[in-house]
Structure 1
């Protein structure tokens, strides 16, 4: 049995969860209620979609986008903590949004997103340096041959 490189798996999980975030947002924009609220009030769910709010949302989404790359290139210790912190932030934010009167499709996506980011936190938490070293050495040998 070969051990999978956690860097690759973490990066792939961040791609998966980011696509879920994006497709949830796209579907939300197809809701007549959401569109009407955005057009008439400039907001939705009691949140005004002004520049500071949109910047905050962009920064929040950038965490998952950035971790796609960082999961592959950071050193073990920094990588592990970046995934634990990023996954924790994203899990807490998504859990918090469930109390804002979410639609069924949003709840569906949120459950998947919370499960994924919770798994990322656990997966990074259980990652050991010796495991990382073994994978790196095996990759170096494989590259040399």
Structure 2
């Protein structure tokens, strides 16, 4: 049972680590970014940032994306092996791609690039770790 529990606990813990990095990157970006001038704050408050209209639908989509990472904390511990493995692979690939994509909208600050490297490396590791999780390593209770 230890092999199963350990792999599940590691995956769950990695998702917690990723979520904390997402949160801190966003907090730094909104409040501690010296590059973010009054004009950018005004755009954010107006609901239109870099040509993207910030609507309720847009915010809902981003909330759903963030919820997938939050849900993986729990699902990594509860899902059976096959579903667990594939959920971590699919959500990990999605989050890795989205984090990398987030750097394509314009100049990237050094602190944000730092977070992106950590987040992408962690979610890519989650994908690899889940991919290499063989059925033979899953020990069922007797």
TM-score (norm 1): 0.84
- 1:24 counterpart residue number: 25
> In 1, Cα distance between the equivalents of 2:105 and 2:131?
30
Structure 2: gaps (5+ residues): none
- 2:72 counterpart residue number: 67
> In 1, Cα distance between the equivalents of 2:118 and 2:136?
31
Displacement over 4 Å in runs of 4+: none
Q: Offset of 1:117 from its aligned partner?
A: 0.3
Structure 1: gaps (5+ residues): 141-145
Q: Which of 113, 124, 130 is equivalent to 1:118?
A: 124
Aligned length: 134
Q: Offset of 1:48 from its aligned partner?
A: 2.2
Alignment check: 8 A CA contact 1:90 1:117 kept: yes
> In 2, Cα distance between the equivalents of 1:67 and 1:108?
23
Q: What is the Cα-based RMSD across aligned positions, in Å?
A: 1.8
Q: Cα deviation per residue 1:25-72 (whole Å; 9 max; x = unaligned)?
A: 111111343423312x42333322211110111011011000000000
1:86 counterpart = 2:91: yes
TM-score (norm 2): 0.86
Q: Which has the larger share of helix?
A: 1
